[in-house]
Amino acid sequence: MSLFSKENREAFLSPLWMNNPVTMQVLGICSALAVTVKLEPALVMGLSVTIIVAVANLVVSLLRNTIPNRIRIIVQLVVVAALVTIVSEVLKAFAYDVSVQLSVYVGLIITNCILMGRLEAFAMANGPWSSFLDGLGNGFGYAVILVVVAFVRELFSAGTLLGFKIIPECVYEFGYMNNGLMLMPPMALILLGCIIWFQRAKNPELND
């Protein structure tokens, strides 16, 4: 099987949009609500999850024929937890400021349903390379949604992007105000709903 066969490309590309883990499989919603107030933490979070899900998929796929069936969830959990701990330690050592910003959310990657979902549904049944691609695809799919939601939330709640002022001061003088509702988790849910609405309106075949 070639490295970029149709199946492998499919494993990588389909989670980016048509089979997006957040909008189609409705996984990882909790963290999508929590870390999307500002763009920077959302980017780092998306990147961390991508690395972890890709490597975890790879490791579990390599081990898949040796894992005893009865404790397979525990084995997957240990792999994920070990990777999350390593990422969190590395962030603390080399990107201290970002790790302070993300605080508990890095540790909470363990509870991200995308990870266990992909390990159980894909890595346990497929080879290492396509599992790795599947992990990358799902991680990026998750990151894309996070970044879109965080983009809208930061822009309208603070008038900034990545901390830089975007909405000029003169607009405020005309009575424009930052939208405090954007800071609240329910707004992230509404935005997610809008993305899902848009996605399904564009692709009627996705509707049940």
Partner 1 sequence: MNTNSNTYTIVYASVMVVIVAFLLAFVSSSLKDKQNENVELDKKKQILSALNVDIKGADVAQLYSEIVKQEPLLSADGSIKAEEGAFAIDSKVENAKPLAERNLPLFICQVEGATKYVLPVYGAGLWGPIWGYVALNDDKSTIFGVYFSHAGETPGLGAEITSVPFKSQFPGKQIAKEGEFTSVAIVKPGNAEEGRDYVNGISGGTITSQGVDAMLNDGLGQYVNFLKQ
Chain residues that interact with partner 1, rule: CB under 8 A: 37-38, 65-71, 74-75, 78, 82, 85-86, 89-90, 92-94, 96, 100, 103-104, 157-158, 180, 183
Residue 8 CB-half CA count within 13 A: 12
Quote the least distance from Cβ 75 to partner 1, whole Å.
6
Tokens 């290492």 belong to 128
Q: Is 160 helix (H, G, I), strand (E, B) or coil?
A: strand
Quote the least distance from Cβ 26 to partner 1, whole Å.
24
Neighbouring-strand partners of residue 160? 165
Closer residue to partner 1 in complex, CB, 82/196? 82
Closer residue to partner 1 in complex, CB, 71/121? 71
Beta carbons of 115 and 52 less than 8 angstroms apart? yes
Task: State both tokens at 12.
Answer: 């990588």
Q: Compute φ and ψ for 21, nearest 5 degrees.
A: -60, -35
Closer residue to partner 1 in complex, CB, 66/207? 66
Neighbouring-strand partners of residue 165? 160
**Alpha helices in the chain, H assignment, sequence order:** 6-13, 29-34, 39-63, 72-94, 96-102, 104-107, 113-118, 128-158, 169-173, 185-202
Quote the least distance from Cβ 23 to partner 1, whole Å.
24
Quote the least distance from Cβ 79 to partner 1, whole Å.
8
Closer residue to partner 1 in complex, CB, 31/157? 157
Neighbouring-strand partners of residue 161? 164
Non-local CB neighbours of 170 within 8 Å, separated by 6+ positions? none
Closer residue to partner 1 in complex, CB, 53/187? 187
Quote the least distance from Cβ 156 to partner 1, whole Å.
11
